[in-house]
A and B are shown apart, each in its own frame.
Chain A
Amino acid sequence: MASSGLELLWVSAPQLAQGIGRTLGISLLAIAFSSVGGVIYGVLRNLGVRWIDGVLLVYLELFRAIPVLVWLYLFFFGLPIFLGWSIPGFWCAVLVLSLWGASETGEVVRGALRSIPRGQREAGLAIGLGPLQLYGRVLLPQALRRMTPPLINVFTRLIKTSSLAVLIGVVDVIKIGQQIIERTYESVLIYGFLFVFFFLACYPLSAASRVLERRWNHS
């Protein structure tokens, strides 16, 4: 029984690989866009301009109040109606995950900048550093270390949430797995494989984050 299972996986490898490519594609694109968007969000909110802060806050709360799956449906079914745009599921997923990821990443960046003791800024100013040097040599390096563990957490959540793309019809690794099950009825094997796949995609990241946290602990 075991050998036929592995054999099946081996035979289906090309299709599964395609599906994995889709799933990881969504995740990696979302991670990339979220990072950029998040830094912009974090810095903008730190500036303290009232109306910018208000707009970004509404954006954050909307993405926190409405579950990601609902957003996926809103974009996938709603955009064609509202704007006449018909976006393929893959890009819908990338868009939604990027917007959601950017808000979460942004909060991490903002929190990290705020958590640096005020004295660091003053000590930097007291030796005559200008704003660029202050951020570049003193504040951002410290913020980066504080950001990394929660940031990795956001990224693993992005990877896990990319699984929802199958529900708006994207032919990702889950869909391919389900197609294989339809032919072969090996649901335990395939869903087991999918379970292991996502675990292997996420666990190294969270383990690495813990190691980094311990090494960079400076308080």
Chain B
Amino acid sequence: MAFDVEFVVSTLPAFVSAVGVTLQVGFIAIGTSLCVALINAAITAFSVPILRPLVRVYVELARNTPLLIQLFFIYFALPTLGIRISGFASAIIAMTFMGGAYLTEILRAGIDAVPKSQIESGLSIGLSRWQLLRHVILPQAGILSLPALFANFIFLLKETTVVSAVAVPEILYTTKSYIALYYKTYEMLAVMTGLCVLLFVPLSLLLRLIERRLQHGQFGS
């Protein structure tokens, strides 16, 4: 089967920019999801009335529905209510909605895993609840959750392929467009696969490294 190398080379600039878009959408989504998760963690830790159960409702809604539906709702349904949002912005909002819920759960598990004795030690040296959260609980919860957080970051990066459905020019959308335009299906699929492997296998190996490092550093709990 012939492989049109010349053609592939000619598409490289487009793919480089596609990778850029993937990383852009991915990292912004990671950042915003993390912010949402931290706010939710604080709400839960301080047992803020009304907001706390709302956080639980949000988490259940976002974790039990597909990203695609969340995305379609924002991009296709909201305009009929007068709210018109670009593909890129819809992608960020939808991914934040979903990612925020996942990260909230991870942080919650991490905070629960911090031994009660730590909280008691902190309180007995006179820390306020806010100081306790900031200096004692969150750092330790962060380390405990690190593998799960990192795994979710990789997951969010992979989910960027879904936003190709609303014409965001990331890797999958670019591949589809070129296939539709030039019919070089074989070459384009190969490029797409190659890019995914190059992008995600190192991340996966990095995750294993983090998991192993943290296992050795754990003191018995």
Q: So, do A and B actually touch in the complex, CB under 8 Å? A: yes
A positions within 8 Å CB-CB of B: 61, 64-67, 69-70, 73-74, 77-78, 81, 156, 160-161, 163-164, 166-167, 174, 181, 185, 187-188, 190-192, 194-195, 198-199, 202-203, 206
- Find residues 78-97 in chain B having any chain A CB closer than 8 Å to their own CB: 78-81
A205 vs B167: C-alpha distance in the bound complex, in angstroms? 33
B positions within 8 Å CB-CB of A: 1, 60-61, 63-70, 72-73, 76-81, 158-159, 161-162, 164-165, 172, 175-176, 179, 185-186, 189, 192-193, 196-197, 200-201, 204
Partner of A77, one of B64, B66, B72, B185: B185
A-B contact pairs, 15 of them (CB 8 A): A61-B201, A64-B204, A65-B204, A67-B161, A69-B162, A73-B172, A73-B176, A81-B186, A164-B162, A166-B68, A187-B80, A188-B78, A188-B80, A203-B60, A206-B64
Please give the distance in Å from A115's CB to the nearest CB on chain B: 14
Cβ-defined contact, A70 with B64, below 8 A: no
Please give the distance in Å from B177's CB to the nearest CB on chain A: 13
Cβ-defined contact, B66 with A198, below 8 A: yes
Residues of A within 8 A of B161 (CB): 67, 69-70
Cβ-defined contact, B65 with A199, below 8 A: yes
Partner of B189, one of A69, A77, A206: A77
Cβ-defined contact, A74 with B158, below 8 A: no
Closest to B186 in A: A81
Partner of B68, one of A64, A70, A174: A174
Cβ-defined contact, B189 with A195, below 8 A: no
Cβ-defined contact, A167 with B165, below 8 A: yes
The 9 lowest CB-CB distance pairs between A and B, nearest first, are A202-B64, A163-B66, A160-B66, A65-B200, A67-B158, A187-B77, A191-B77, A191-B73, A69-B161
A203 vs B59: C-alpha distance in the bound complex, in angstroms? 11
A17 vs B77: C-alpha distance in the bound complex, in angstroms? 22
Closest to A202 in B: B64
Give chain A's interface secondary structure class. Answer: helix
Residues of A within 8 A of B64 (CB): 156, 160, 198-199, 202-203, 206
Please give the distance in Å from A63's CB to the nearest CB on chain B: 11
Residues of B within 8 A of A188 (CB): 77-78, 80-81
A198/B172 contact (C-beta < 8 A), A65-B196, A78-B185 known? no
Residues of B within 8 A of A198 (CB): 64-66, 69
Partner of A64, one of B79, B186, B200: B200
A191/B72 contact (C-beta < 8 A), A199-B64, A202-B65 known? yes
Please give the distance in Å from A200's CB to the nearest CB on chain B: 9
Residues of B within 8 A of A61 (CB): 201, 204
Residues of B within 8 A of A163 (CB): 66, 68-69
